[in-house]
């Protein structure tokens, strides 16, 4: 019987190859661990400089004579204190040439696009500190350096409103995101500050859209220059403001007038109210509308306030599940407070009109209307009465309302919830013969239309912060910028 002899395969050398490969992997991992440790250490050092640097720079936002150079010097001081640009004993400028590792300090007032929704805020300043880290061991695997950067944004705003009267947040290339049409003659002026006897600083118009031919970026609102971000349309329309800023261009039709200083190719700004907390529905009682067809009683009701008969209706603050459906000529007397429209919106059906809106005494009514979804339903996809709809608050004669004057939402008149299912539903408000309104209208995803009627005059100490806006009607509309009537931000210190 023959024996079968199995020859052993020559495994010698394979272990060495495997060991060498594993050693390279381990060295690469070790290199990354070591270098990433240094990166985190540098980042912490940078943050220790940029945070107090931003706070110090923000002090010069409102200081008399404060300049961007003052802000840079303030931020530079803290960069020195944390070992950059020569260290604590150095007085050298904070430029790459004065730092052994090539660090760079950047101070942006207003903040840049990297600050997100804080971009373009004139009451804030951004400090960015950046330096490269030359790798120790990671270069063995082809990583020669790491770019390490930190940033901080600080504010200095003591109960001030945003300085803009009109903001179109739409930052796409959509045209006419801001428009004045229908013969509206709009004049924005700064009210007088009683404390100083001088006009408040503000009343500006800001349009984020990039629409327009770059050839026409000449800081002049040309006549008949085609599509643009801001359009003065119709016949006889005019816009006068302390200053107008557009990221795109401005155009006029029909030789309309434009009596405002204009800056085209302006910076895009973020939503100034993006961080304010929404009202909690559970904190408010269910509203009732006695005397109308249906009286909602709670979150699970299918009730809608239908105003079928002409007359005067007194409404109290609360949550109105299903909204208001106005089907006849009515006068609304609104008690001061917060009105939450949870689904259904405010609708003017065929033949319906709001004759006037005011307090029971006929005086201006201090209110806030918050339009959102009914949280007891799944929206979108739920019934119309449960999901956020449009707001049509146009009176056939008198609209006399202002933003609520107490509490955390002081100064807000209408708030179209930007996180609800119908956030793009339009908001319309105005008075055909008598328009007296004040407050902030906030609709971050929607078109807001303000109509001043077909003739006569109106006063709207109002601020519109919306995705898009249109001011229309043949009336002369005066819009005094008075921050005392608007939502006020009290922000000091680090905000990002």
Residues 116-172 pLDDT 10s: 878 887 788 999 999 887 766 566 556 666 788 899 998 887 656 778 999 999 999
> Over the stretch 196-223, which tens digit does the pLDDT of each residue have?
899 988 899 999 999 998 888 899 998 8
Whole-number pLDDT of residue 107: 93
Give the number of domains in the chain. 2
Q: Is residue 6 part of a domain?
A: no
> Over the stretch 454-478, which tens digit does the pLDDT of each residue have?
555 667 788 999 999 999 887 678 8
Mean of pLDDT over the chain: 83
pTM: 0.77
The percent of residues in the chain predicted with pLDDT above 90, rounded, is 35
User: Would you place residue 412 in the very low, low, confident or very high pLDDT band (cuts 50, 70, 90)?
Assistant: very high
- Residue 279 CA, chain-centre distance (Å), reads 17
User: Would you place residue 64 in the very low, low, confident or very high pLDDT band (cuts 50, 70, 90)?
Assistant: very low
User: Would you place residue 65 in the very low, low, confident or very high pLDDT band (cuts 50, 70, 90)?
Assistant: very low
Q: Kindly tell me if the per-residue pLDDT of 431 is higher than 60.
A: yes
218 and 95, same structural domain? no
Q: Is residue 422 part of a domain?
A: yes
184 and 139, same structural domain? no
Q: Is residue 449 part of a domain?
A: yes
Q: Output 486 or 65, whichever has higher pLDDT.
A: 486
Q: Is residue 2 part of a domain?
A: no
199 and 137, same structural domain? no
417 and 268, same structural domain? yes
Least confident of 143-157, 227-241, 274-288, 343-357: 343-357
Whole-number pLDDT of residue 132: 84
- Work out the average pLDDT over 272-285: 90
Whole-number pLDDT of residue 195: 84
User: Would you place residue 372 in the very low, low, confident or very high pLDDT band (cuts 50, 70, 90)?
Assistant: very high
Q: Kindly tell me if the per-residue pLDDT of 268 is higher than 80.
A: yes
> Over the stretch 292-333, which tens digit does the pLDDT of each residue have?
656 666 666 666 788 878 888 888 899 999 998 887 778 888
- Decide which of 122, 156, 190 is a domain's last residue: 156
Whole-number pLDDT of residue 8: 54
Whole-number pLDDT of residue 298: 67
**Could you list the residue range(s) of the whole structural domain that residue 209 is in?**
164-494
């Amino acid at each position: 019987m023959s024996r079968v002899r199995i020859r052993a395969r020559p495994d010698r050398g394979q272990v060495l190859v495997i060991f060498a490969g594993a050693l390279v992997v381990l060295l690469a991992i070790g290199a990354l661990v070591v270098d990433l440790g240094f990166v985190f250490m540098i980042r912490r050092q940078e943050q220790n400089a940029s945070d107090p640097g931003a706070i110090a720079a923000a002090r010069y936002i409102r200081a008399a004579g404060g300049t961007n150079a003052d802000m840079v010097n303030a931020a530079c001081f803290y960069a020195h204190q944390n070992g950059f640009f020569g260290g604590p004993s150095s007085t050298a400028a904070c430029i790459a040439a004065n730092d052994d590792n090539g660090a760079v300090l950047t101070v942006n007032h207003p903040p840049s696009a990297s600050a997100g929704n804080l971009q373009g805020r004139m009451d804030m300043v951004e400090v960015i500190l950046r330096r490269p880290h030359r790798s120790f061991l990671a270069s063995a695997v082809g990583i020669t350096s790491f770019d390490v950067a930190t940033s901080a944004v600080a504010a200095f705003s003591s109960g001030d409103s945003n300085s803009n009267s009109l903001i179109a947040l739409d930052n796409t290339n959509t045209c006419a995101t801001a428009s004045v049409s229908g013969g509206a003659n709009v004049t924005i002026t700064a009210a007088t500050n009683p404390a100083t006897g001088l006009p408040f600083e503000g009343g500006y118009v800001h349009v984020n859209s990039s629409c327009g031919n770059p050839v026409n970026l000449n800081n002049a609102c040309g006549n008949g220059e085609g599509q643009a971000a801001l359009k003065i349309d119709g016949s006889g329309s005019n816009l006068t403001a302390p200053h107008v800023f557009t990221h795109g261009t401005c155009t006029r039709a029909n030789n309309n007038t434009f009596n405002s200083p204009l800056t085209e190719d302006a910076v895009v700004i973020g939503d100034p109210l993006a961080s304010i907390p929404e009202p909690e529905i559970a904190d408010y009682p269910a509203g009732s509308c006695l005397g109308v067809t249906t009286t909602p009683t709670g979150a699970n009701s299918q009730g809608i306030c239908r105003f079928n008969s002409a007359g005067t209706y007194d409404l109290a603050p609360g949550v109105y599940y299903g909204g208001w459906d106005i089907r006849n000529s009515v006068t609304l007397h609104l008690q001061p407070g917060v009105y939450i429209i949870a689904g259904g919106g405010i609708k003017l059906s065929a033949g319906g009109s709001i004759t006037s809106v005011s307090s029971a005494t006929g005086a201006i009514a201090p209110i806030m209307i918050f339009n959102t979804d009914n949280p007891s339903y799944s929206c979108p996809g739920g019934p119309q009465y449960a999901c956020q709809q449009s707001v049509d608050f146009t009176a056939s004669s008198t609209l006399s309302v202002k933003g609520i004057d107490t509490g955390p939402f002081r100064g807000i008149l209408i708030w179209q919830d930007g996180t609800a299912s119908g956030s793009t539903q339009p908001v319309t408000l105005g008075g055909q013969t008598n328009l007296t309104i004040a407050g902030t209208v906030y609709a971050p995803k929607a078109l807001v239309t303000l109509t001043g009627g077909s003739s006569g005059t109106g006063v709207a100490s109002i601020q519109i912060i919306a995705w898009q806006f249109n001011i229309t009607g043949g009336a002369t509309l005066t819009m005094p910028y008075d921050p005392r009537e608007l939502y006020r931000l009290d922000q000091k210190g680090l905000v990002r």
